[in-house]
Amino acid sequence: MTHIVETAESFADAALRGYCAVYERLVRPVPGGVLRSTATAEGKVAVVIGGGSGHYPAFAGYVGPGLADAAVAGDVFASPATRLVASVARKAHRGGGILLGFGNYAGDVLNFGFAAQQLRADGLDVRVLAVTDDVASAAADDTARRRGVAGDIAVFKIAGAAAEAGADLDAVERLARHANARTRSFGVAFGGCTLPGAHEPLFTVAEGRMAIGLGIHGEPGVKETAILPASELARLLVDRLVEEAPPGASGRAAVLLNGLGGTKYEELFVLWTFVSAALEKAGITAVAPLVGEYVTSLDMEGCSLSITWLDDELEPLWLAPCDSAALRVGTVPATAPAPALPPDDENRLSFPDSTPEGREAGRIMALALGRLAATLRSAEAELGRIDALAGDGDHGQGMTRGSQAAADAAAKASEAGAGAAGVLAAAADAWASRAGGTSGVIWGLGLQTASTALNDRVRPSAAQIRDAATQALEAVMRLGGARPGDKTLVDAFAPFAETLAADLEREQPIKVAWAHATERAFDAANATADLMPKLGRARIHEDRSRGHRDAGAVSFALAARTIGDTINEQ
Amino acid sequence: MTHIVETAESFADAALRGYCAVYERLVRPVPGGVLRSTATAEGKVAVVIGGGSGHYPAFAGYVGPGLADAAVAGDVFASPATRLVASVARKAHRGGGILLGFGNYAGDVLNFGFAAQQLRADGLDVRVLAVTDDVASAAADDTARRRGVAGDIAVFKIAGAAAEAGADLDAVERLARHANARTRSFGVAFGGCTLPGAHEPLFTVAEGRMAIGLGIHGEPGVKETAILPASELARLLVDRLVEEAPPGASGRAAVLLNGLGGTKYEELFVLWTFVSAALEKAGITAVAPLVGEYVTSLDMEGCSLSITWLDDELEPLWLAPCDSAALRVGTVPATAPAPALPPDDENRLSFPDSTPEGREAGRIMALALGRLAATLRSAEAELGRIDALAGDGDHGQGMTRGSQAAADAAAKASEAGAGAAGVLAAAADAWASRAGGTSGVIWGLGLQTASTALNDRVRPSAAQIRDAATQALEAVMRLGGARPGDKTLVDAFAPFAETLAADLEREQPIKVAWAHATERAFDAANATADLMPKLGRARIHEDRSRGHRDAGAVSFALAARTIGDTINEQ
């Protein structure tokens, strides 16, 4: 159980503040995460890691010389918002580029991926690495779908050591990918953790039973058995990992036996006596093994074993000195404190490139986004109803919250003189930060990508509009991982973008092409929508014979039509 | 729950082996505990700490340069046996004397105290410090009865730093006592831990409730309330400790916010934000505070706050560098590995002083101890029955096991040429090590103390016998903390020793004095025993009108009579 809480909402933030207060020798707080409080060489590659809170010492506990430069922290078990990832990474940047490292979860892939895109738009060189060590989460020939668990630590340690030693971004990325490719983890759970403020565990495992391969947030495991004696548990873990030893691996490996929070040190040490014997039998020498709590899930009962097969390149990096709250290796030379941070000016709006024509386009864009917010608010209940047939029913709320924040930010940017690109970028950032949930990040990502095809100087041309739609779709599919037919907004977005591009190539007027594309989006979403503004409600007609529609696809079609209506008026 | 177990019996040993394997850079295993694996200066005071297992990182996790020289580990939540304390301390000794540090629990007071006595008998300078920081366990004017909890760590850290800096034993002891006098802890529990192999927690706290001042092994607390929000919990802890600020204390303090195992890092960091604010309000500056799991009780849910009020002498010691598995402060210069340990020769029996007369006395002593084992075995069921009326009913078993081990060791020592002293010392050691439980340590302590009044050269004189009995009683009362009337063996031992001493002073023959003293012992134990060897049973007549008898007092009387019978035959 989690018992010490002030309010559930403030838990993750307060924990981070408390951590920074205790470890001020190593870290200092910034909005959304922590930075090293020690000086870092100019030109050094910044290793920025992160993910949800509730996993301490992951991730903030690994910030310090020889390890990470910064960590971004979301709410408990929730990915950090894109803008916080970008903001923390920007502050950590020392001119050498940035490696963003995180475990392979959909939310983190989106937020870190989108943040990388934003940072690149600012001219920074950013690489993204999703750790995929959990063998229980997908097959060996499908490693890209595997989750990241405690193996994170070895990968980040190796990347951090390489960056500290002065390797350039290409080399740091290559080494981190190499370490990830040679890292495998496997775990078991005896019981679930309780979220702050909750009275029941997030999940349970039956008394006397053990879930094999259960995810650290309760994701389904591969099977359940009676709890094994320590010797058999050790063999289970070692045997499963050894199966995936990389071809030609030497016998030397970084090994981490990790407790998830409720499984204690003595238990881990008992298990280690058998794990080390099993490793030895398998011809593996554990190099500077770690046994303890390195990636927890609050008070979850269980443990995992991680093996990183070392080679001549990786071993010195694994053994290199580092100094962080959770991991100290060797001796790091004393470092001067970092200079004070410049005042935060991220909310300052300035659009020096904009022209009168561009500003007029910005005004129209802001107008369209304002109408979009109104449309989605009036459709909120209907979208919620549709979402509840297949999902958790919160789609309408998230879209209302996100589109309203986007509309407000767009209006403000337009007033400050932004053109179409500036208005769209401001809207994108607000939508991703405020909507909550995956759809918010996806919309933020789509709009932000679209904004990069535009500029603040001219009214968007047909070619720019085509590029904006096409590139946004590409980014949403790449980072969101969805294909047409997966019952996501891509089902409507893909035919929309394709139709729009085709019509514009054939030099159809923008209004005509947009209307045609919108028709295709509604058709693909398997719905038609009649806005009835007088009733303050959207009623969405559905063709039940064609099965459930995806609420995301429907709201995409609604959005396309609202924007089209605004274009038509001009 | 504790889930990772091979066998419950091997848990503590296996955990210690696993720990030593992981941290071989810092420690090496020896029977009963761990020693530093790094070289230590000749003449340095050895700081040897310890207690039951199940509290990792206490105590083995605090062995390393700048901290402890060695740690002794008992079974889970059980004090280490006297002979193991003595053996580990002897190996840690570098010629500068030894400080034995442990939490103030009856078993540890006995075993460390008795070990100190054995080591002193070998000519070593040994000081004993029982930490007494838990304000919930006794009143402020009765600190000697307070338990030791997480405040142990500050006291040991300060003692370790002083020893490392070259302070002599007087100074190390003084500083450790000074730190202990200025250290206070207070804790709360939300739930109990599960012993390895058990299926139910050792104790429970009702859902949504919090036990204030509960001991880390489930000892009763001061009260129970609903779980408080973090801010109020912080005030509760800080206010109670600040009440006991030493007069004239500066505002600077070493502060430790400790998790007991099931209360996790994020919760502790959340609590710290409020604790540090409350401390500040109370005018206390936390110097290098520690927030985390420093003294656990397996997976017990709860936390404690410890404050050590610093002064100019203590603060530099608190901040001095140290390097251990659980606590690293600053940078400790690299140290060479410790030289290999000499082969263990503790089981070698050699009695160079003995004479034919002494060896004859040794033979009689061994004979008496053999008969004592037979008597106690035949009385085992009766003693168990009596013990069950007031205690847990295991007294008979413990006495049988201990006396048989003593008889075997005595026979072996006698064969190897020991006199009365050597035979008795061997018996004492075996009894304390093998009996288990408090009565075993008490008998070991009594016999060992008695042995120091004798020698291997002559048949014991009346004066020696008087001194042996008187000094043994004094040691048992001092370390065991029992007074006549407390329903312990002292109820019979005290009148026995007094009568024996008085009669021998009046120059009564030994046989007569012993018989008289035995009679008084039976009378005080409120019983007479008729041994019926043919039935293989002792039947103990009781005078029910005088209330329950104490099984320990009865077995003492039986022992006195058996030894007397052997003396009479000679």
pLDDT tens per residue, range A298-347: 999 999 999 999 999 999 999 999 999 999 999 998 889 999 988 776 65
Pick from B1, B267, B328: CB nearest A4: B267
Strands A301-309 and A322-323: unpaired
For residue range A344-389, list pLDDT tens digits in order: 766 567 888 899 999 999 999 999 999 999 999 998 888 888 887 7
**What's the pLDDT score for residue B444?**
92
Q: Are B11-329 and B356-569 equal in CATH topology?
A: no
Instruction: For residue A63, give Cα distances in angstroms to A23, A230, A521, B119, B261.
Output: 10, 33, 46, 47, 24
For residue range A115-158, list pLDDT tens digits in order: 999 899 889 999 999 999 999 999 999 999 999 999 999 999 99
Sequence-distant (6+) residues with CB within 8 A of B49 are B59, B62, B63, B68, B70, B71, B72, B100, B101, B102, B152, B156
Asked if B83 and B98 touch (Cβ cutoff 8 Å), the reply is no
Q: Which residue has the tokens 């394709």?
A: A498
pLDDT band at B537 (very low <50, low <70, confident <90, very high): low
Closest residue in A to B7 (Cα) is: A229
Instruction: For residue B125, give Cα distances in angstroms to B80, B113, B460.
Output: 21, 13, 28
Q: Residue range A403-427: average pLDDT?
A: 95
Closest residue in B to A289 (Cα) is: B22
Cα A46 from Cα A85, distance rounded (Å): 13
Cα A404 from Cα B159, distance rounded (Å): 62
- For residue A233, which residues of chain B lie inside 8 Å, CB to CB? 4
Cα A532 from Cα A539, distance rounded (Å): 7
Closest residue in B to A191 (Cα) is: B1
Query: What is the domain partition of chain A in residue ranges?
Result: 11-314, 356-569
For residue range B456-483, list pLDDT tens digits in order: 999 999 999 999 999 999 999 988 888 8
Pick from A3, A233, A270: CB nearest B14: A270
Cα B171 from Cα B160, distance rounded (Å): 12
Return the amino acid letter for A105. Y
CB pair distance less than 8 Å for B276 and A190 = no
pLDDT band at B486 (very low <50, low <70, confident <90, very high): confident
Residue A483 is given by DSSP the state -
Cα B207 from Cα A235, distance rounded (Å): 37
For residue range B13-41, list pLDDT tens digits in order: 999 999 999 999 999 999 999 999 999 99
Sequence-distant (6+) residues with CB within 8 A of A115 are A82, A83, A85, A86, A89, A100
For residue range B82-135, list pLDDT tens digits in order: 889 999 999 999 999 999 999 999 889 999 999 999 899 889 999 999 999 999
Output the average pLDDT for chain B.
92
Closest residue in A to B16 (Cα) is: A269
- For residue A265, which residues of chain B lie inside 8 Å, CB to CB? 15, 19, 56-57, 61, 293, 296
Pick from B56, B271, B334: CB nearest A266: B56
Host H or E run for residue B26: none
| B347/A491: higher pLDDT | A491
Q: Is B496 on the interface with A (CB under 8 A)?
A: no
- Examine the pLDDT at A441 and tell me if it is beyond 70: yes
Q: Is A87 on the interface with B (CB under 8 A)?
A: no
Q: Residue range B545-550: average pLDDT?
A: 62
| CATH number corresponding to A11-314 | 3.40.50.10440
pLDDT band at B534 (very low <50, low <70, confident <90, very high): very low
Cα A188 from Cα A186, distance rounded (Å): 7
| A40/B201: higher pLDDT | A40
For residue range B111-125, list pLDDT tens digits in order: 999 999 989 988 999
**What's the pLDDT score for residue B535?**
43
- Give alpha helix (H) positions in B227-355: 230-242, 265-281, 314-319
Residue A332 is given by DSSP the state P
- Give alpha helix (H) positions in B76-190: 82-92, 106-121, 152-164, 169-181
Closest residue in B to A332 (Cα) is: B331
| B547/A123: higher pLDDT | A123
Q: Is A130 on the interface with B (CB under 8 A)?
A: no
Rounded to the nearest angstrom, the minimum Cα separation between A187 and chain B is: 13
Catalytic residues of B: 217
Sequence-distant (6+) residues with CB within 8 A of A402 are A430, A431, A432, A434, A435, A436, A439, A440, A443, A444
Q: Residue range A196-222: average pLDDT?
A: 88
Asked if A271 and A258 touch (Cβ cutoff 8 Å), the reply is no
Q: Is A331 on the interface with B (CB under 8 A)?
A: yes
Sequence-distant (6+) residues with CB within 8 A of A343 are none
Spatial CA neighbour of A100 closest among A168, A172, A149, A185: A172
Annotate A18-45 with b (16+ C-beta within 10 A) or e (fewer). bbbbbbeebbbbbebbbbbbbebeeebb
The region that residue A525 occupies, defined by phi over 0 for left and psi between -120 and 50 for alpha, beta otherwise, is: alpha
**What's the pLDDT score for residue B241?**
97
**What's the pLDDT score for residue B382?**
86
Domain B11-329 has CATH 3.40.50.10440: yes
Q: Is A391 on the interface with B (CB under 8 A)?
A: no
Q: Which residue has the tokens 């050269």?
A: B457
Strands A285-292 and A252-259: parallel
Asked if A466 and A506 touch (Cβ cutoff 8 Å), the reply is no
Cα A32 from Cα A225, distance rounded (Å): 40
pLDDT band at A545 (very low <50, low <70, confident <90, very high): low
Cα A469 from Cα A499, distance rounded (Å): 10
CB pair distance less than 8 Å for A269 and B22 = yes
pLDDT band at B528 (very low <50, low <70, confident <90, very high): low
Asked if B176 and B101 touch (Cβ cutoff 8 Å), the reply is yes
Q: Which residue has the tokens 């209006």?
A: A411
Q: Which residue has the tokens 């407790």?
A: A259
- Examine the pLDDT at A417 and tell me if it is beyond 70: yes
- Examine the pLDDT at A245 and tell me if it is beyond 50: yes
Pick from B290, B296, B331: CB nearest A264: B296
CB pair distance less than 8 Å for A264 and B261 = yes
**What's the fold here for domain B356-569?**
1.25.40
Q: Is B11 on the interface with A (CB under 8 A)?
A: yes
